[in-house]
Amino acid sequence: MSNPRGGFEALLFDLDGTLVDSMPLHQRAWVRWFASIGQPLDEDPGFFASSAGRSNTEILADMYPQKAAAELEAMADAKEALYRAEAVAHLQAIAGGLDLLARARAQGLKLAVCTAAPQANIAVAFERFGLGALVDTVTSPADGLRGKPHPDVFVEAARRLATAPGRCLVFEDAPLGIEAARRAGMAAVALTTTLDAAAFSPYPNLITAVRDFTALDQTLLFA
């Protein structure tokens, strides 16, 4: 999984908590949604740590295994509507991420967003920050792919970009995402926007952990 400095051909980015600072908005949306059904969450850090990187339906299916798929989808949609109501006006980019995308694109690297986010959420971020002009493809559960820690979104992105997994570098803010990259045979960089660096230390495919893209040693990417 290791690569020489500047030896990567494709960069694969998670979206929430990696390219966009959406996790505080998602946490508030979850708190509001649980309160609306009479189950106060009280911003439980264990819930947010264990669910980061997973789709809403996967999270809710574990919590409510007796509910039908259609009901789980409706619950997930209600939570995401609360998120988007804030995101359209208040969503911010993670520092340095857009600049890194632009530089990587100018130097010919292939770029993908690999996310568990619903399509409507992806659309909000892409419209707000012009991501469609910066990346080559997007993979998500909307493509029939399993969520992280399954490697599907990364494997499919590499296939679309015609790049060997070992030539891909993944950027993630969740341990489940780093694990998904490991299963895909890809090296990874962790952003400590959601959890501290210690949360990522068990993963052998981890190259480094940084607070945001301004702290990244870009010689890892560019020769």
Catalytic residues: 14, 16
- The amino acid sitting at 209 is A
Query: How wide is the angle at C-alpha 54 spanned by C-alphas 73 and 15, nearest 5°?
Result: 105
Taking alpha carbons only, the member of 157, 210, 216 closest to residue 181 is 157
- β-pairing, 137-139 vs 110-114, is parallel
Q: Which residue has the tokens 């995308």?
A: 101
